[in-house]
């Protein structure tokens, strides 16, 4: 697929203003006219109504997005993409993140619609852009030059389903298996980029998993809700805690056992739906890290009630004097809204809570661009419960 423009897109005053302010996503309703042969996924020249050149980007016509800008007052090229990915890599290297990290975080790395995660020498790509979909082999080529032994696509996300992009996953380039072992501050995890959730692992929770360890002591009883492959639970177990993990997937059950063996610890696993969970026990620490309970804005009220029910249940299982950690990865729920939910849940659970150390967020390899606030989606709190 070409990296040269095929035609032009003329945007209205609002669209031009967004481009000039550095916004990447231009709405379909802001497009006044298409000039020349323009198809979805093509690179186009973007101009205002006076004919002034504003930049270049992908013509998407996907969801509410008409154009994704890639260059402001500049030209799009494969070399430009390579420069941006290398710049992103240099920043991650300075963070000293070890053998796995998010390399590209969409708009925050000037590559809107593109996510790239690295696990050792395996790269995993997720795209929500028709333009990047069409050029995914070129992106894989850049990653190979940067040290990827194999590059895989994980284009089977809920977001792609919501915007009617085809769902698929598989190898794009390279050889060898799709799985590897990563090291998170001495805790080992098996990751399979094709079989696991998201791109294979929840990299965004790295710092929060490590942070959990200061609240866990040897012999503590810890409950890890929505445990997936044992991220939080394994860190607690390494500290000597008696850990119970809850998840409803067969994959999680197999992987927790495997990861527990890797780390020479024991995890008690309960396979089931957290909503239906009935445990007549209290724990020193309870972690609630659910999937996004508000998948779209029209589900916000329903989702807020679900967060309230979950947090009430979680806090009711915390022994007085213990701790609760709770999270939301929904971009449609603000940090302040989650705080209000947490306070209400504490009251319903008959727990006096204190919020400790402000808020929790995503790992620094998931940088947040203030112009594109949805790049900062993960928020959470640690609470003492008395």
- Dist. CA 71–CA 52, nearest whole Å: 15
> Which DSSP symbol is given to 318?
E
**What is the predicted pLDDT for the residue at 380?**
98
**What is the predicted pLDDT for the residue at 186?**
97
- Residues tagged active-site: 329
pLDDT, one tens digit per residue, over 282-332 is 999 999 999 999 999 999 999 999 999 999 999 999 999 999 999 999 999
User: Does the pLDDT value for residue 10 go beyond 80?
Assistant: yes
Decide: residue 140, CB within 10 A, 0-12 exposed, 13-18 middle, 19+ buried. Answer: buried
- Pairing status of strand 318-328 against strand 379-385: antiparallel
**What is the predicted pLDDT for the residue at 383?**
97
**What is the predicted pLDDT for the residue at 280?**
77
Torsion sign (Cα): 52, 58, 62, 63: negative
Integer-rounded Cα Rg, in Å, for the chain is 22
pLDDT, one tens digit per residue, over 177-231 is 999 999 999 999 999 999 999 999 999 999 999 999 999 999 999 999 999 999 9
In this prediction, residues 77-90 reach a mean pLDDT of 98
pLDDT, one tens digit per residue, over 100-129 is 999 999 999 999 999 999 999 999 999 999
Q: Residues 126, 113: contact at Cβ < 8 Å?
A: no
User: Does the pLDDT value for residue 350 go beyond 90?
Assistant: yes
**What is the predicted pLDDT for the residue at 99?**
96
Domain annotation for the chain: domains and CATH numbers? 7-72 (2.30.130.10), 78-180 (3.30.750.80), 202-385 (3.40.50.150)
Q: Where are the alpha helices (DSSP H) in the chain?
A: 13-20, 78-95, 130-134, 136-145, 158-162, 206-212, 231-238, 250-263, 300-316, 335-348
Strand arrangement of the beta sheet that strand 43-47 belongs to: 25-27, 65-72, 53-62, 43-47, 7-11, 31-35
Q: Residues 236, 212: contact at Cβ < 8 Å?
A: yes
User: Does the pLDDT value for residue 281 go beyond 90?
Assistant: no
Q: How confident is the prediction for the chain on average, in pLDDT?
A: 96
- Dist. CA 273–CA 294, nearest whole Å: 18
**What is the predicted pLDDT for the residue at 278?**
86
Q: What is the token pair recorded at 236?
A: 């607690």
The closest alpha carbon to 221, from 274, 251, 266, belongs to 266
Confidence at 279, pLDDT banded by 50, 70, 90: confident
């Amino acid at each position: 697929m070409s990296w040269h423009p095929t035609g032009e897109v003329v945007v209205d005053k609002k669209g031009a203003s967004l481009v000039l302010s550095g916004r990447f996503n231009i709405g379909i309703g802001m497009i006044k006219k298409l000039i020349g042969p323009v198809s979805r996924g093509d690179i186009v020249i973007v101009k205002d109504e006076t004919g002034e050149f504003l930049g270049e980007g992908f013509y998407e016509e996907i969801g509410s997005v008409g154009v994704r800008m890639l260059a402001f007052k500049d030209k799009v090229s494969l070399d430009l993409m390579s420069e941006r990915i290398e710049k992103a890599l240099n920043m991650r290297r300075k963070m000293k993140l070890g053998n796995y990290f998010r390399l590209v975080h969409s708009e925050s790395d000037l590559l809107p619609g593109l996510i790239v995660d690295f696990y050792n020498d395996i790269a995993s790509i997720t795209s929500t852009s028709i333009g990047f979909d069409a050029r995914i082999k070129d992106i894989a080529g850049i990653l190979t030059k940067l040290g990827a032994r194999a590059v895989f696509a994980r284009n089977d996300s809920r977001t792609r389903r919501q915007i009617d992009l085809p769902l698929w996953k598989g190898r794009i380039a390279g050889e060898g298996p799709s799985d590897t072992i990563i090291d998170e501050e001495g805790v080992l995890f098996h990751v399979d980029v094709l079989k696991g959730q998201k791109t294979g692992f929840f990299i965004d929770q790295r710092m929060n998993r490590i942070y959990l360890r200061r609240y866990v002591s040897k012999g503590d009883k810890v409950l890890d809700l929505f445990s997936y492959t044992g991220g939080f639970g394994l860190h607690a177990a390494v500290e000597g805690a008696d850990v119970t993990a809850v998840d409803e997937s067969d994959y999680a059950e197999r992987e927790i056992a495997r990861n527990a063996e890797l780390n020479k610890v024991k995890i008690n696993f309960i396979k089931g739906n957290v909503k239906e969970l009935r445990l007549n026990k209290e724990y020193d620490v309870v972690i609630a890290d659910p999937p996004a309970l508000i998948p779209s804005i029209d589900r916000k009220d329903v989702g807020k009630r679900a967060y309230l029910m979950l947090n009430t249940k979680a806090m009711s299982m915390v022994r007085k004097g213990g701790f609760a950690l709770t999270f939301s990865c929904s971009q449609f729920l603000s940090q302040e809204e989650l705080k209000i939910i947490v306070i209400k849940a504490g009251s319903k659970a008959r727990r006096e809570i204190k919020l400790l150390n402000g808020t929790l967020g995503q790992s620094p390899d998931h940088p947040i661009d203030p112009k594109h606030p949805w790049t900062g989606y993960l928020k959470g709190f640690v609470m003492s419960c008395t």
